[in-house]
Amino acid sequence: MTHEQGDGYLLVISMSGTKRTKKNVFRSGIFSANLVSTDMLPLMDYFGLHSAEDGRKDGIPYEVVRGAVLDVPVLDASRWVYECEVADTVTTGDSTTFFCRIRNIQMEERLECKDIFDVDLTRLDPVVYSGKHHNIGKCLGSIGDFENV
């Protein structure tokens, strides 16, 4: 996430190559960012290994609904979804970085937080990819908790 102006924040997403998702974002200017939790690993792995250019991705069961604010596909299994509208792009080589206004956030009720920076990641149980898949272990504290330690 990055700061735009006033209270506005932009979600920053980079996509490389010629994936259909990237083409659709360029065409429509909108998309959903479905955060992946550990229970979604088989689906994420399947999506990553199969190209939409080869046909429908229907080798594993999943449900897609439409966004609440934007006409974007949303994975029903996702606990946290951003509905985004592209504000700006930067292209370097075959990689494009999209700077996006967040038009809506859908989240499971048990994840409700005071603001977009008050997320209990241990409840969200997100998958982090850095060459291999990882999850978040525990909350270590907030800004200021360690000032006088």
pLDDT category at 149 given cuts 50, 70, 90 is low
CA 1 to chain CA centroid, nearest Å: 11
Selection from 135, 25, 132, 128 nearest residue 83 by Cα: 25
Q: So what's the pLDDT on residue 110? A: 83
Residue 131, burial from CB neighbour count under 10 angstroms (0-12, 13-18, 19+): exposed
Please report, in angstroms and rounded to a whole number, the separation of the first and last CA atoms in the chain.
29
Q: Can you list the domains of the chain with their CATH numbers? A: 2-135 (2.30.110.10)
pLDDT tens-place string over residues 37-57: 999 999 988 888 888 778 888
Higher confidence at residue 140 or residue 88?
88
Q: Report the predicted TM-score, pTM, of the whole model to 2 decimal places.
A: 0.84
pLDDT band at 111 (very low <50, low <70, confident <90, very high): confident
CA 109 centroid distance within chain: 18
Do residues 84 and 103 touch, judged by C-beta distance below 8 A? Answer: yes
pLDDT recorded at residue 2: 79
Does 29 have pLDDT greater than 90?
Answer: yes
The predicted structure's pLDDT at residue 116: 65
Instruction: Indicate whether 138 pLDDT > 80.
Output: no
Handedness of CA 100, 68, 79, 104 (dihedral sign): positive
- Label residues 41-52 b or e (16+ Cβ within 10 Å = b): eebbeebeeeee
